[in-house]
Every structure is written in structure tokens, then in C-alpha cells.
Amino acid sequence: MLFAMICGFGEVEDDPDLWVQHQVSLCEDFVHRYSEQTGPHYALADIEELLISYNLSLQKLHLPTVDLPASVLERANFDVVEEQAKANSYTMQLNSE
């Protein structure tokens, strides 16, 4: 994500201001997938994951922190298509009883 790269390379003096300016567009896909309330948290979790490669965190950049349980975030990181393919495969193996 471009936002994490910009923050990671230190190209911006005020990372929180950059977040505020572009929050709507950065959260758009997550809001569509989840909800208006939780979408920004999922976006921030995604950004945090990318910031780790720059040895940074949301807290270090003074950005809002993620307010979602770890179990919820783990469930969000699975591939729906892959899981559906597995389910279809398992269904074919069931007995016809």
C-alpha cells in the first residue's frame, strides 16, 4: 500500500495529517467489505502489517491504533475462493447417504 511506503520512507512530516486527509479513500474497500464503523480499523491493521517491514508501527507514527480483537483480524485474512474450493472438494468426498 502506497500510504505505508510513504510513511516508511519518511517522505511526510505529519503522518497523522496524511491519514486524516486520505482516510476515506484508504478505507473505501474495507468499509464496503465490512462496515462504516469497522472499515477504518481493518485499513489500519493492513497498514500496520506493511509498516512492520519498515520497523515501524501505527503507534510510532502517532496514527490511530487498531481496535479489533486479534481473532477478528485473523478471520479477515483468509482467501474466500480457496476456502470455497476446499469446501466443494470435501463435499464431493461425502457419502451419498
Domains of the chain, residue spans = 1-92
Residue 38 has pLDDT above 80, yes or no: yes
> Taking the CB of residue 89, how many other CB atoms lie within 10 A of it?
9
Residue 75 has pLDDT above 60, yes or no: no
Residue 90's pLDDT is 87
Residue 43's pLDDT is 92
The candidate with the shortest Cα–Cα distance to 8, out of 50, 62, 65, is 50
Residue 94's pLDDT is 85
Pair 61, 9: CB distance under 8 Å:
no
* Confidence category of residue 31, pLDDT binned at 50, 70, 90: very high
24 — phi, psi (to 5°)? -60, -50
Q: From CA 51, how far away is CA 33, in angstroms rounded? A: 22
Question: Concatenated DSSP letters for 27-96?
Answer: HHHHHHHS-TTTHHHHHHHHHHHHHGGGT--TTTTTPPPP-S-HHHHHHHTS-HHHHHHHHHHHHHTS--
Residue 42 has pLDDT above 80, yes or no: yes
Average pLDDT of the residues in 45-69 = 90
